[in-house]
Amino acid sequence: MTHKSLPPRGRDADDVLADLKAFAESDPDYRSGRTWSLVYHLDDAHDDFAAAAWRQYSSANGLNPAAFQSLKRMESEIVSIIAGLLHGPEETCGVLTAGGTESCLLAVKTYRDLARKTRRVRRPNMVIPATAHVAWFKAAEYFDVTPRLLPMTRDYATDISRLRRKIDRNTVMVLGSAPEYPHGTIDPIAEMGAIAVEKGIPMHVDACVGGFILPFMEMNGETLPEWDFRVPGVTSISADLHKYGYAAKGASAILYRNLDLLKHQMFVYQDWPGGVFASPALLGTRPGGAYAAAWAVLQKIGVEGYRDLAARTVRAVQALKRGIEQIEGLRILGHPQGPLLSYGSSDPGLNIYAVADQLEARGWAVNRVQNPDGIHAMVTARHEGVTDQYLRDLAEAVEIVRANPDLARKGHAAAYGLMAHVPLRGMVRERVLDTFAQLYRAGGGELTLDEPGEKVPMLERWMARYVAWKARRG
Ligand SMILES: *Cc1c(COP(=O)(O)O)cnc(C)c1O
């Protein structure tokens, strides 16, 4: 028997906690601002505070909102605070979820069911930007709603010139992002909302990333296009507490313009032998700790605190934009207006994925985007103090890649290049699925992005040859 076994007798608590501490040693170094995604970290004192709030409610369960009235109170207050920030009308209501993905999934389920019930739609579709967060593609697959994509313009904004034509009687919703994840661009929400009203279709704004920073940027005097409930066509908005709300992980919210919409999100089964059952969201048991931590963090930071965090973030973003534009061969992708950005290469001889490898070799954890290829940065207040170092390292990385163009065919750059550019997307999908699934084989595996070499299977060799051929042709 090779499975891990439980310790036969319970272990000493300090010993177990020491193990946890040791496990984290190989994790991304987010405390010093070296991680440009996944983590929104202020400082250890803030984490301790959120953890203290979490601890008080770690066993509490939001499954039945009538049972833990403390949790229902926190949920209502958080939703109400967000409704105010997003200029929602008096009737604005909503639900706390475990994360942005749950919020996005719920919007699709809600509008599919609304269309089924009120318009007898049987083969639902939704019109979403090509830059919509991947959670929307997941929702499309889970709930069997066909995505109809709005393409990007030449400068990577959402092209809405064909939005009207893409809406038909089976369209259940329209989506805009504020901002979108790949480049940080805010979609033309006002124009999209006007078309949604004209067509009588609900419109969701995905402000998972923007919901807790754009309102404070506006309070600080920045001019942004209207993107929230001020736009009449917007019927719902998602906003993540665990991103720029700086709450502990496991907290997001979805808000609707009125209860008639939210009702379609709810699930009721009256004949279950376990009892009559009603649930407002996707999860069954809902973690009380996450709600308590989110509520506590909102109270502790307050308007002034969030304005200050937004100002620091904007300063970091601006420093990055200026610095990146000064490095020859790099260009910002599109017109990011929020707290994140992506940049790519403007020089065919400069491979941006090889630049990413060089940044990683210097201790920065970065994400890669594709179509076009680029390096992503989700910027937080914590990054204000590290932008100078980052830009110095970036300039050096660009120099090195320029001097060694071969780096494009080595390391991770080769693997990411393959995944982004091989035209047989189905094959890429299968390959990624196989590799990814290995992480979950019995006992757990490791994810490796191998260099294309001798022992790799046919497909990879073929893909490597294809990419080399493309590279030679420029
Ligand atoms: C992060 C994000 C999501 C998904 O949120 P998770 O909390 O990661 O599930 C959805 N939409 C946008 C625009 C995001 O940035």
Distances (CA, A) of 377 to 157, 176, 339, 341, 344: 18, 21, 9, 5, 12
pLDDT per residue over 124-167, tens digit each? 999 999 999 999 999 999 999 999 999 999 999 999 999 999 99
Pocket test for ligand 1, best of 97, 105, 158, 209 (most atoms within 8 A of CB): 209
Say what the pLDDT of residue 1 is.
Answer: 62
100 within ligand 1 shell (Cβ under 6 A): yes
Asked if residue 423 has a cis previous peptide bond (ω within 30° of 0), the answer is: no
Ligand 1 atom nearest the C-alpha of 180 is 13
Say what the pLDDT of residue 418 is.
Answer: 86
Rounded to the nearest angstrom, the distance between the alpha carbon of 155 and the centre of ligand 1 is 23
Say what the pLDDT of residue 411 is.
Answer: 85
Question: How far is 304 from 332, CA to CA, in rounded Å?
Answer: 31
34 within ligand 1 shell (Cβ under 6 A): no
Rounded to the nearest angstrom, the distance between the alpha carbon of 244 and the centre of ligand 1 is 11
The first and second tokens of residue 222, run together, are 């920045």
Question: How far is 308 from 203, CA to CA, in rounded Å?
Answer: 31
pLDDT per residue over 271-313, tens digit each? 999 999 999 999 999 999 999 999 999 999 999 999 999 999 9
Say what the pLDDT of residue 449 is.
Answer: 58
Say what the pLDDT of residue 452 is.
Answer: 45
Distances (CA, A) of 280 to 66, 135, 267: 12, 19, 6
- β-pair partners for 269: 277
Say what the pLDDT of residue 451 is.
Answer: 46
Intervals of the chain under pLDDT 70:
1, 447-474
Say what the pLDDT of residue 453 is.
Answer: 44
pTM for the predicted model, two decimal places: 0.94
Domains of the chain: 54-299 (3.40.640.10), 411-472 (no CATH)
Ligand 1 atom nearest the C-alpha of 99 is 7
Evaluate whether 164 touches 117 at the Cβ level (below 8 Å).
no
Question: How far is 179 from 336, CA to CA, in rounded Å?
Answer: 8
Question: How far is 19 from 289, CA to CA, in rounded Å?
Answer: 23
